[in-house]
Amino acid sequence: AQSVTQLGSHVSVSEGALVLLRCNYSSSVPPYLFWYVQYPNQGLQLLLKYTSAATLVKGINGFEAEFKKSETSFHLTKPSAHMSDAAEYFCAVIFATNKLIFGTGTLLAVQP
C-alpha cells in the first residue's frame, strides 16, 4: 500500500540551528510530494511541492526539500530555525486523483 513515513513525531531545535524533518514514501512511481505546515487551531498551509521538475525545491519561509528517488525521500530543511517556525509539519504524497496521503506529522519545537 502507498504510504508516507515521517521519522520523529517530535523534533526540538535551538533558535538559529538547522531544521531537518524526515519524510520517506513508498512508491514504485515517482509521485507528487508536498510539505504542509499547521499552526495551532488552524488548517494546513502549503510550504512547498515537488512535481517532477527540479529535485531541490524551495518553499516559503526559507524552507526547502530535496527529492531523492534512490532513497524514496523528501526531507525538509531550513538552515536557521526561527521561533515562528514552531508548528506541526506534514509530508504528503499524491499518487492519483488528487488524493493526498499524509504522514503522521512532526511537531517542531524551537527553543530560545
Partner 1 sequence: ETGVTQSPTHLIKTRGQQVTLRCSSQSGHNTVSWYQQALGQGPQFIFQYYREEENGRGNFPPRFSGLQFPNYSSELNVNALELDDSALYLCASSFPDRDTGELFFGEGSRLTVL
Figure out which of the listed residues 51, 55, 61, 80 binds partner 1, where binding follows CB under 8 A.
Answer: 51
Task: Report if residue 30 touches partner 1, rule: CB under 8 A.
Answer: no
Contact 39, 90 (CB under 8 A): no
Name the minimum Å distance from CB 82 to partner 1.
Answer: 23
**Nearest approach, Cβ of residue 31 and partner 1 (Å):** 9
Which range touches partner 1 (CB under 8 A), out of 13-21, 39-47, 62-70, 75-83? 39-47
Q: What is the sign of the dihedral through the CA atoms of 52, 73, 6 and 96? A: positive
- Binding span for partner 1 by CB under 8 A among 17-25, 65-73, 78-86, 89-97: 89-97
Residue 67: exposure state from Cβ atoms within 10 A (0-12, 13-18, ≥19): buried
Tell me how far, at minimum, the Cβ of 61 lies from partner 1, in Å: 17
Interaction between residue 3 and partner 1 (CB under 8 A): no
What distance in Å separates the CA atoms of residue 29 and residue 102, rounded to the nearest whole number?
17
CB–CB of 103/88 below 8 Å? no
Other CB atoms within a 10 A radius of the CB of residue 91 amount to 28
Q: Which residues bind partner 1 (CB under 8 A)?
A: 32, 34, 36, 41-46, 49, 51, 90, 92, 94, 97-105
